[in-house]
Amino acid sequence: MSQLADRALSFPTFHAVSLFKEALALAASGKSIINMGIGEPDFTAPPSVVDALARASRAGMSAYSAPAGIPALREAIARYYTEHFGAHVDPARVIVTSGGSGALMLACAVLVDSGAEVLLPDPCYPANGNFIVAAGGRPKLVPTTAAHRFQMTAQDIRDHWGPDTRGVLVASPSNPTGTSIAPDVLAELLAEVRARRGYVLMDEIYLGLSYEGQVKSALTLDDDLIVINSFSKYFHMTGWRLGWMIVPERMVDLLERVGAALAICAPTLAQHAALACFEPEAMAIYEERREAFRQRRDFLVPALEKLGIEVPVKPDGAFYVYADIGKLGENSVDFAYRLLREAGVSALPGADYGPAPHGRHTMRFSYCVGMEALQDAVHRIGKLL
């Protein structure tokens, strides 16, 4: 057999995969499983979006689009950022991609040199580091604390920036913690990176699922960012594989050229359908669903704490609770399997989101299930404990 690339051995194996497979097998055998592991909304695209897809399909609008996406969708995304997140964006700076993953892959392809180091918070979404590895770079996890909402700070940049560091990748709100970075903290972090002539990859995939007051994009603090977003979470279109980037004007031509070389374009039918996401009828539905997620959060956080499972920082976005099980006397991996096998509740161990200092004693609970299922899950966990 041909020798494999060294980087292939750098991709970690996640417990989430084996837990998910076991949960499917248990469900197939007839056991009742409540899935609080996978971060996929239980809502699907509104009827108007599905209808738009059907119309585009019947009209034969399935040919390749321009590499950066159809102009109408780029304009709609730019308008969405202006109206909802306070960032005045030129549609020419919007590049439509095959999901948020496609955006991260493309960004890393043009930013990450071989051997270059990129800083990420610990904990963070594990796939983010994988895109850096795939581009030949080295992700460096920076330990965070509950006192700083499990987010990096300007001091972290000063302490951890080394000779090979070229940039940072941060998410607000974050997976797995559901926490956002306060604007003043983020502004200081961005300034420290700028002082070192570094780049910032800003993951705003959960920005639409924010629950505490008016939220603004990081672009309102610094216009020279690479922002990543997606139709998967707020718009509930995970399998449609559609996302976008907002990039500095000087990068547009390069990203279009590289994107065309790697993937030609994002799925065209999904692009035409996504235009309906921004119509008033669909936006009203999305806002109702955002409120439903907020109500689930407000139920789950105190319910877990009553069971002795601490929540060090109340999440203000996304649909995750990052909980501390230290008082239970079990490590996160063992507890995740015990929870699945004995209680029929699937949740993910913190070990998947970073090794230290939190991974051993934290769990990520997703509230992507209805309120009745959440109540049942809490009952099952309490009975197990």
Q: Which pLDDT tens digit goes with each residue over 150-178? A: 999 999 999 999 999 999 999 999 999 99
- For the segment 110-135, what is each residue's pLDDT rounded down to a tens digit? 999 999 999 999 999 999 999 999 99
Please tell me the pTM assigned to this model.
0.94
CATH topology of domain 47-279: Aspartate Aminotransferase; domain 2 (3.40.640)
Distance CA 184, CA 179 (A): 15
Q: What is the mean pLDDT of the chain?
A: 95
Lowest mean pLDDT among 35-39, 108-112, 311-315: 35-39
Model confidence band, residue 329 (pLDDT cutoffs 50, 70, 90): confident
Residue 1 has a pLDDT of: 56
CATH 3.90.1150.10 range(s) for the chain read 6-44+282-384
Pairing of strands 165-171, 199-203: parallel
31 in Cβ contact with 145 (< 8 Å): no
Distance CA 335, CA 349 (A): 8
Closest alpha carbon to 222 in 251, 192, 179: 192
Taking the mean position of all CA atoms in its chain, how far away is CA 364?
Answer: 13
CATH 3.40.640.10 range(s) for the chain read 47-279
Lowest mean pLDDT among 4-8, 24-28, 114-118: 4-8
Pairing of strands 243-246, 94-97: antiparallel
Distance CA 74, CA 93 (A): 8
More confident residue, 8 or 256: 256
190 SS3 class:
helix
Residue 208 reports pLDDT greater than 70: yes
Q: Where does residue 174 fall: left (phi above 0), alpha (psi -120 to 50 degrees), or beta otherwise?
A: beta
More confident residue, 339 or 357: 339
CATH topology of domain 6-44+282-384: Aspartate Aminotransferase, domain 1 (3.90.1150)
| 120 phi, psi to nearest 5 deg | -135, 150
- For the segment 70-89, what is each residue's pLDDT rounded down to a tens digit? 999 999 999 999 999 999 99
Distance CA 374, CA 365 (A): 10
Pairing of strands 243-246, 320-324: unpaired
240 in Cβ contact with 20 (< 8 Å): no
